[in-house]
Amino acid sequence: MAKAKPATTSRSANQASASEPYIVIIAGGKGERFWPQSRAARPKHLLPVVGTTPLLVQTLDRVRGIAPAKNTFVITSAVQAREVARVCRGLIPAANVVAEPAGRDTAAAVGLAAALVGARDPQGVFAVLPADHVIHDTNAYQRDLRAAFAAAGAADVMVTIGIAPTEPATGFGYIQRGGEWGRVGAGKTAKVVYDVKRFVEKPKADVAASYLASGDYVWNAGMFVWSVRVVEAAFAAHAPELDAGLAKIRAALKKQQVLAAVLKKVYPTLVKISVDYALLEKSANVVMVPSSFDWDDVGAWPAVAKHFRPDAAGNVGRGEVIVEQGGGNLVFAEAGHLVTLLGVDDLVVVHTKDATLVMPKARAQDIKALLAKVALRQDAAKLL
């Protein structure tokens, strides 16, 4: 597939499309990595892991000004829907919180997003954004997002925002950039947009190091901007089976049928595949806007620490915490409870009302093994 070129490289973000932009925030997650604060029904994006509001609310706050609230959707899971609706109240219309009856991975969610936006505006351009990332520089973030909207409005491309890597991380997919595809915006807000050579899966450490050294790779953070038309064409071309299912959802929305009823019937039948596999790796018309904002996906407890001011010994605490003769600890205590550490270093200690976790920071990736044991308990449903 020949890569589309922008109609013009000088039009500004505001002129990018005749349609209003749309935002679809994907709020999923299993609630494992921030256990015991996170639970299946209360994963990371519903917690103020960093800051004082849930990360989902921070994400909604961050896109305000990009799209009007009525054009902003949140796609979540059935088990989280109630709490997501609660935190979204007053921020976006209640009808814009859409629950997947079953998790069918990101391709289905993107298809649902395209259907939701397409029902409003078949010419619509929308961003798909994760709900649970931490980004402090909202101005830079909005500038980059506007550039992505400009590119997606100007040409039939799938625009991804590439995160500038700061370390040879093995936990993210990477995107290898090609040459300059074009420019969007003008003057100080002008941005170079790059061709994408390929998407690569989470690499091994030595490969990640070579990616970082090359300067040609950025992290794939799951942030995409594209038109309904381009997304639907991609589903038709690369994922026809999934597209057939999505067509039923599109048809139902067109006929103004009750969305929940249709989803309940159709959604569980959809192919379970990531949008990277299903569409992006197979499409030639993918371009990349390099990020200029700070970014952290806060993958697990240890990542939280760097967003707090540590004490002289490098301890970070939230709530009532005392650390005596110890350093580098991350300690969270529920209100009304005092957590004390004596003579320990580099631990994560998280106390909640009904469960407490103690582990070395270095073992955070092994939390699934612990949760497998919690799952064996009679009261597992309450605790997970």
d(Cα 196, Cα 335) in Å, to the nearest integer?
A: 48
* CB 334, min distance to its own copies, A: 10
d(Cα 349, Cα 94) in Å, to the nearest integer?
A: 36
* CB 326, min distance to its own copies, A: 9
d(Cα 173, Cα 208) in Å, to the nearest integer?
A: 10
Site residues for its own copies, 324-353, by CB under 8 A, read 324-325, 333, 336-344, 347, 349, 351, 353
Cβ-based nearer residue to its own copies, 86 or 353 = 353
* CB 353, min distance to its own copies, A: 8
Cβ-based nearer residue to its own copies, 180 or 366 = 366
**CB neighbours of residue 232 within 10 Å:** 20
Segment contacting its own copies by CB under 8 A, of 5-13, 119-127, 251-259, 366-374: 366-374
Cβ-based nearer residue to its own copies, 99 or 323 = 323
CA distances from 36 to 329, 339, 368 (A): 17, 15, 12
* CB 55, min distance to its own copies, A: 24
Q: Does 370 bind its own copies (CB under 8 A)?
A: yes
HSE of 251, CA atoms in CB hemisphere, 13 A = 8
Three-state SS at 236: helix
Cβ-based nearer residue to its own copies, 261 or 322 = 322
For 291, which DSSP code? P
User: What is the maximum alpha-carbon separation in the chain?
Assistant: 66
d(Cα 290, Cα 148) in Å, to the nearest integer?
A: 10
8 A C-beta contact, residue 183 and residue 193: yes
Q: Does 250 bind its own copies (CB under 8 A)?
A: no
Q: Does 200 bind its own copies (CB under 8 A)?
A: no
For 65, which DSSP code? T
Which amino acid makes up residue 277? Y
Cβ-based nearer residue to its own copies, 254 or 377 = 377
What x-and-dash track marks residues 24-43 binding its own copies by CB under 8 A? Answer: ------------x-------
* Binding-site ranges for its own copies (CB under 8 A): 36, 320, 322, 324-325, 333, 336-344, 347, 349, 351, 353-360, 362-363, 366-367, 369-370, 373-374, 377, 383
